[in-house]
Amino acid sequence: MLKEFKNFIMTGNVIDFAVAVIMATALGGVITGFVNNIAMPFVGYFAGGMNFEDLHVAMDGKEYATLAAAKEAGGAVIAYGAWINTIINLLIVGFVMFLIVRAYNKTKTPPAPAAPAGPTQEELLAQIRDLLKK
C-alpha cells in the first residue's frame, strides 16, 4: 500500500496539481493586495471619496462611523463593503486566469497534420502486376 501511495504521489499529475495550487494561492494574495490597495481606492475616489471597506449595517440599529467602530461596540455587523471587495477580487482573479489560460493555449503547437494516405495494398499489387506485364 505504501508503494502504491508513493507511485500516486510521484506521478506528474499530482505534482502539477500541487504546483498549481501553490501558484494560485500566491496569485490570490497578489490580486487581493491589488484590489484592496490599488483598485478600490480608485473606485472609491471616483465614487465620491467612499471607502467601500467601511460600508456596513449594524444589526443593533445604531450608526457607526466606521466598520471598526461598529465591531468594537460588540454588536453583529453586516460588512457588505468587504463583500463588494471580495466580488471585485473574484472578477479580477477570473480575468487574470482567463489571460493566463489564453496565453498558454497560444503557446501550444497545433497537432501535426496527418500524413497523406499512401497507396493501399491492393493498389501496390496492381502496380506490380502492371509492371510485370510490361
Measured in whole angstroms, the distance separating CA 107 from the mean position of its chain's CA atoms is 18
Residue 50 above 80 pLDDT? no
Mean pLDDT confidence for 51-75: 82
Contact 77, 57 (CB under 8 A): yes
Number of helices (H) and strands (E), helices first, in the chain?
Answer: 6, 2
In which region does residue 49 sit, left (phi positive, over 0), alpha (psi from -120 to 50) or beta (all else)?
left
Q: Give the separation between CA 19 and CA 5, rounded to whole angstroms.
A: 19
For the whole model, what pTM was predicted? 0.57
- CATH of the structural domain 11-133, one choice from 1.20.58.1030, 3.30.1360.120, 1.10.1200.120, 1.20.1070.10: 1.10.1200.120
pLDDT digits (tens, 9 = 90+) for 67-117: 888 888 887 888 888 888 888 878 887 888 888 888 888 887 777 777 777
Mean pLDDT of 60-73: 82
| Domain edges within the chain | 11-133
What residue ranges in 11-123 does DSSP mark as E strands?
A: 57-58, 77-78
